[in-house]
Structure 1
Amino acid sequence: MSRFPTTPDLDRLFRPRSVAIAGASTNVDSPGHDYVQAIKNMGFAGPIYPLNRSADEVAGLKAYAALTDAPGEVDLVISCLPAGAVLDLVDQCGKKGVRFLHLFTGRFSETGDDEAADLERQIAASAAAKGVRILGPNGMGLYHPGGGLSFRPDLPVAAGTVAFLSQSGNNAVEVITRGNARGMKFGKVANYGNGLDVTPGEMLRYLADDTETTVIGAYVEGVPDGRGFYEGLAAAAAKKPVIIHKAGRTQAGARSAASHTAALAGTAELWSTVLKQAGAHEARNQEQLLDLMLGADMLPSSGGRNIAIVGGGGGRSVQSADAAEENGFTVVPLPDDVRRRVREKAPGLADWVGNPVDQSILAGSGLSSNGLLELMLESAAYDLAIANVGEDWFFGRPDASDRLKHACNRLAQICETSAKPVAVVLGATETNNREHRAIVDEVRDDFAARGIPVYPSVERAAFALGRLAGG
C-alpha cells in the first residue's frame, strides 16, 4: 500500500496562522533573534509569539514566558532551545494543540552519540502521541514568502512558484540567493535536517498537488523512507519538473553526510536509477541543480531537439556546435527558407552564413546575430535556440556599453516574444576591467528581471536544455 494514499496535510506547516519561537532572544547575534526578525521582515500576517522567560519583548514584540502563556492558538512552533529542553516543549505543544513543531535544535542522532539518538526517539514518540508533527531536527526550517515565513532576515521577499527541499540549511540559503540573482522566485522551501517525522517523500507528495508550485528542486544526502521517497518523487515528477541533487555519492561524501544529518547515502548508481525511473532530472552539483531549475522555471517546452545557435566568434561557434551535439541536439544546417530571407536582407551572406551563426562574419552586412535569430526561430526547422551575446566583441568597439545594452535589449525582446525556448549565454565577468564587469552584471540583471534564463557558458546552457528538452 502507498505510504501517501492521499495528499499529506501540510498546508498549516507552510501557511500557519500564528507562530511561536521558543528560545527567542534579545541577542541580535543569535538564531533565537533571527527567526523573530526574519518572520517580521517577511510580513507575516498573523500573531508572532516570542517565548523568553526573562525578557518582556524580543525584536519589538511582546514576549511570553512559556508557550502555554501565548494568548491565542498556535499552528507552528520554532524551537531554538537546547536539545535537553525539547521534550518539555513537546508536552507544551500537546497542551496548546500545536500542529507543527520545527526543531532548529540539533545535536541529536547526527552526532553519532547513543544517548542523543535515544532522546531523538523519545521526542518522536511523544510528539506522535500528542498529534504534533515535527520538521527537523537539525534544520533551519521554512522559507515561504507567500506565507510570510523565513529562517533568515536577509532573504528575498518576492514570492514565486519554485519549491525547494534541502537536507542542508546552508545549501538552501545558497540556492535561494543564487537562484534569485538569476531571476528565480521561490515559493515553498523547507530545510528538513534529519527528517525525523516530516520526510522529503511526504513533502514531495504534497508539492505534487500544490497549485502554487510549478517546479521542484531538492538537495538530498540520504532519505529515512526509501519507499515513501520514491512514491512522492514519482507522484511529483508525473505532474511537474523535479530536479534532484543527490550528494554523498562518494565514500568520503557519504561519511560527511552521516555526520551532517545522520543520512544513509546509498550508491550513486542506485540513486541514478531511482531518479530516472521516477521521471526526475538528476544534478551532480549545485551548478547543474540551479541551471536545470532555471530552465524548467523560465523556458517553455521545446518539443524537439533541432537547435539554432547564434552569436560569438568562430571559436565560440565551433564550441557551441560541439556542446549542442554532445547533449543530444541536432545542429540543423540553415534551411532554404531562412537562407532565402538572408539573401533578401544581406546578399553577401546568403551562401556563407550557417548554423551556428558566426557573429564575426556579420560586420557591415546589415544583418545582426539577433536578426538571424529571429529568422531561425520563425522557421519550422528549429525547436529551440541558444543565443551567445558575445560580449567580448562589444568591448573591443567604440561605445561598448551602449552597443552591448542595445543588443541585449533587442535579444531580450526576441526571447520574450518567442514561443520557442531561447537560452542566453553571457560569460562570467572574468576580466580585470571593472567597468566591463559592471556592464555585464547590469545586463545580466536585466535579463533576470525580465524572466530570461542566462547561463555563463554554452556548455552549461546546452547541458540544461538537453536534459529538459523533449523529442
Structure 2
Amino acid sequence: MQSETVRQISQIFNAQSVALVGASDREGTFGRLFLEGLRDLGCPHIYPVNPKREEILGFKTYANLTAIPEPVELAILLTPPEAVLGIVKEAVEKKLKGVVVFAAGFGELSAEGKALEQEIARVARAGGVRVIGPNCLGFFSPAAGLSTFPMSLMEKVPNRGGSVGGFAQSGSFTDQVVWFLTKKGAAFSTMVSCGNECDLAAEDYLEYFGEDENTRTILAYMEGVKDGRRFFEVARKVAAKKPVIMWKGGMSEQGAKAAASHTGALAGSATVWNALFQQTGIINVSCMEQVVDCALGFHFSPLPRGRGTAVLSAHGGTGVATADNCLAAGLELPGLADETKARLRQIMPEVGTSIGNPVDIGVASLLNPGLYGEAIRIIADDPNIDMILVNTSAIRACEEGIVEASKTIDKPVAVSIFALPELVPQEYEYLAENGIAAYPDAKRAAYVLSRLAEYAKFKAEREAEG
C-alpha cells in the first residue's frame, strides 16, 4: 500500500495547477525563466503572483495566493527568506499540496535560519502542505510539464517522460545530470533538488522513487541524512527492486565540513556509509562521470547472469588493452566454447584475426562491416558469456550491425567508440537512440559492466532470500 508521504509527493510532482510567487517579465530573472518554462512545457494552469503587476506575459497576475479564485496544487516561491513563512501560511489557507522554496539563508547559514526553516516545516505540515527545500532548485517532471531547473530550461530539454528518476542535495547536480543524460538519449520520470530538507528529505524521495512505476533507475547525490535508520531501511527495500546509483559527497573530513556549510547536512563517516552501501546494495560512485556512465548502462541494458565478458574488436592492440581493463574491473574473460570458435571461424578471415577472447575481427571489418553484427550474435549464444564489450571505430555501417544484432539478444552490450564524443557526436547519438550505451574509453565501459554484474548478483541473492 502506498504511504501517505509517497502519495503527497506524487501529488506535487504531478501538479496541474501552479502558482509562481515572484513571477516577472524582466529579462534575466528566474521569475521570467520559470514562467516561460511552465508555459512552454505545457503546464495546464499557471498563476503568476506579484502584488505590483496585474498581468505578466499575457497571464492574469494575483497579489497573493489567497487571491487566486481557482484551486491551486503547488506554489513555487522565488522570494527572500523572510517572506517565506507568511506565504506558507497562505498556502495552508489555500489548501495547497506543496510548496517549493528556492531561497537560501536558512539552516545552512545560522541558528536563526535553522529555527525559521523548522517553523516553516511545522506550519506547513500542520496544515497538510509539504515543503521541498529551502535552498533548492525545485524539480523536473517532464511528463507533467513542470520544470524549475535553469540549465534544462535554457537548453530547452524536451518534456519527454522516461524511466530515470532521482534526488540530490545539490541543485547544480540535479540540473546538470538532467541536461547531460537527456543529451545522451535517456529520459526522466522526475528529478528533485532536496535543498536543506526542512520537511521532505532524501529518505522520503527514495521511498517515492522505489514505488513509482515510471521509474526504473534511481540516481542520487547525497551529503548527509536526517534519519539514518529510516534511510537504511528504505534503501535496503528499494535497492532490492531497482538500481540506486549514488554519489556520496563529504566522505573526507574536509568534504564533511563543506557539506555542513552547503546544506547544513551532517555527512557521517566514510566507514559508516561504505557499510551502508554494502548492506543495502546501493551502487556507490565517486564522480559525475561515473554517475552518467552507470545511468546509461543501467538505463539501456538488461542485467547479466554473471561476470563472463567477451571483448570484440577490430583493433588487436585495443582488444588486448580492453581485456586488461575488464580484468582490472573485476570481470571475467572466459574462453569461448568450441562451437562458438567454429562459427566465428566460418565468418572471419584466417589471417589478421583471432577467435580467442578478446575476439579480433581484424581490418576485414572495414570491407565487411556486417562482421560486427554476425560476431555479436554468435558470441551471445555462448553459455560462458554474460556480456559483450565492443570496440569499434566511428563508422556508421559497423554501428548499424552492432545495433541490429543487439536487438536480437538478451545480454548487455556496451560499446567503446575509438573517437572522442566531441569529434563524432552523431555516432554516440545514433547508438543511444537505438538503446546502446556508448563510451569514449573501454575502461569506462568495463567499469559499467562490472557494476551491472555486481548489482545483478546482489539482486539475485536478495530474491533468493525471499
Q: TM-score, normalised by structure 1?
A: 0.90
- Paired with 1:369 and 1:451, the residues of 2 have a C-alpha distance of 17
Q: What residue ranges of structure 2 are gaps of 5+ in the alignment?
A: 458-466
Report SS of the residue matched to 2:48: strand
Report SS of the residue matched to 1:110: coil
Q: How does 1:260-339 map to 2 (within 5 A)?
A: 260-339=262-341
1:459 lines up with 2:456 in the alignment: no
Q: Compute the displacement of 1:125 (Å).
A: 2.0
Aligned to 2:80: 82
Letter in 1 for 2:437: P
1:421 lines up with 2:405 in the alignment: no
Aligned to 2:387: 384
Report SS of the residue matched to 1:172: helix
Q: More deviation in 348-357 or 197-206?
A: 348-357
Report SS of the residue matched to 1:330: coil
- Choose the corresponding residue for 1:104, options 98, 102, 105: 102
Say whether the 8 Å CA contact 2:428–2:438 is kept in structure 1.
yes
Letter in 1 for 2:63: A
- Paired with 1:328 and 1:190, the residues of 2 have a C-alpha distance of 33
Change (3 A) 1:213 1:365: closer
Q: Compute the displacement of 1:361 (Å).
A: 5.9
- Paired with 1:91 and 1:278, the residues of 2 have a C-alpha distance of 39
Q: What is the Cα-based RMSD across aligned positions, in Å?
A: 2.1
- Paired with 1:275 and 1:65, the residues of 2 have a C-alpha distance of 48
What do the CA deviations read for 1:82-106 (whole angstroms, capped 9, x no partner)? Answer: 0111111011111111121110121
- Choose the corresponding residue for 2:250, options 248, 251, 267: 248
Q: What residue ranges of structure 1 are gaps of 5+ in the alignment?
A: 392-403, 431-436
1:372 lines up with 2:370 in the alignment: no
Change (3 A) 1:190 1:364: closer
Change (3 A) 1:191 1:363: closer
1:120 lines up with 2:120 in the alignment: no
Aligned to 2:403: 412
Aligned to 2:147: 150
- Choose the corresponding residue for 2:131, options 131, 134, 151: 134
Return structure 1 stretches of 4+ with deviation > 6 angstroms.
Answer: 363-367
Say whether the 8 Å CA contact 1:22–1:50 is kept in structure 2.
yes
Aligned to 1:202: 204
Say whether the 8 Å CA contact 2:365–2:372 is kept in structure 1.
no
Q: Compute the displacement of 1:463 (Å).
A: 0.9
- Paired with 1:347 and 1:158, the residues of 2 have a C-alpha distance of 45
Q: Compute the displacement of 1:423 (Å).
A: 0.5
Q: Compute the displacement of 1:333 (Å).
A: 2.2
* Identity fraction in percent: 34
Aligned to 1:449: 433
- Paired with 1:305 and 1:196, the residues of 2 have a C-alpha distance of 43
- Paired with 1:117 and 1:343, the residues of 2 have a C-alpha distance of 70
Change (3 A) 1:162 1:347: closer
- Paired with 2:216 and 2:232, the residues of 1 have a C-alpha distance of 19
- Paired with 1:234 and 1:368, the residues of 2 have a C-alpha distance of 44
Change (3 A) 1:137 1:96: same
Change (3 A) 1:428 1:326: same
Change (3 A) 1:338 1:350: farther
Change (3 A) 1:417 1:59: farther
Q: Compute the displacement of 1:381 (Å).
A: 2.5
- Paired with 1:6 and 1:134, the residues of 2 have a C-alpha distance of 12
Say whether the 8 Å CA contact 2:345–2:355 is kept in structure 1.
no
Report SS of the residue matched to 2:175: helix
Count residues in correspondence. 447
Letter in 2 for 1:234: R
- Paired with 1:92 and 1:342, the residues of 2 have a C-alpha distance of 71
Q: Compute the displacement of 1:225 (Å).
A: 1.9
What do the CA deviations read for 1:414-447 (whole angstroms, capped 9, x no partner)? Answer: 12222111001124528xxxxxx55x21111111
Say whether the 8 Å CA contact 2:21–2:77 is kept in structure 1.
yes
Q: How does 1:35-74 map to 2 (within 5 A)?
A: 35-45=34-44, 47-74=45-72
Letter in 1 for 2:357: N
Report SS of the residue matched to 1:27: coil
Aligned to 2:462: none
Q: Compute the displacement of 1:350 (Å).
A: 10
Change (3 A) 1:363 1:98: closer
Letter in 2 for 1:125: R
Say whether the 8 Å CA contact 2:219–2:246 is kept in structure 1.
yes
- Paired with 2:189 and 2:367, the residues of 1 have a C-alpha distance of 47
Say whether the 8 Å CA contact 1:343–1:350 is kept in structure 2.
no
Q: Compute the displacement of 1:347 (Å).
A: 5.9
Report SS of the residue matched to 1:78: strand
- Choose the corresponding residue for 1:91, options 89, 92, 116: 89
Q: Compute the displacement of 1:121 (Å).
A: 2.1
Say whether the 8 Å CA contact 1:183–1:453 is kept in structure 2.
no
Aligned to 2:28: 29
- Paired with 2:445 and 2:409, the residues of 1 have a C-alpha distance of 18
Q: Compute the displacement of 1:22 (Å).
A: 0.9
- Paired with 2:236 and 2:31, the residues of 1 have a C-alpha distance of 37
- Paired with 1:6 and 1:149, the residues of 2 have a C-alpha distance of 20
- Paired with 1:385 and 1:223, the residues of 2 have a C-alpha distance of 38
Letter in 1 for 2:282: A
What do the CA deviations read for 1:176-226 (whole angstroms, capped 9, x no partner)? Answer: 111112211011111010111001101111221111111111111112221
- Paired with 2:290 and 2:416, the residues of 1 have a C-alpha distance of 15
- Paired with 1:353 and 1:68, the residues of 2 have a C-alpha distance of 73
Q: Compute the displacement of 1:114 (Å).
A: 2.4
Q: Compute the displacement of 1:250 (Å).
A: 1.5
Q: Compute the displacement of 1:231 (Å).
A: 2.2
- Paired with 2:378 and 2:185, the residues of 1 have a C-alpha distance of 27
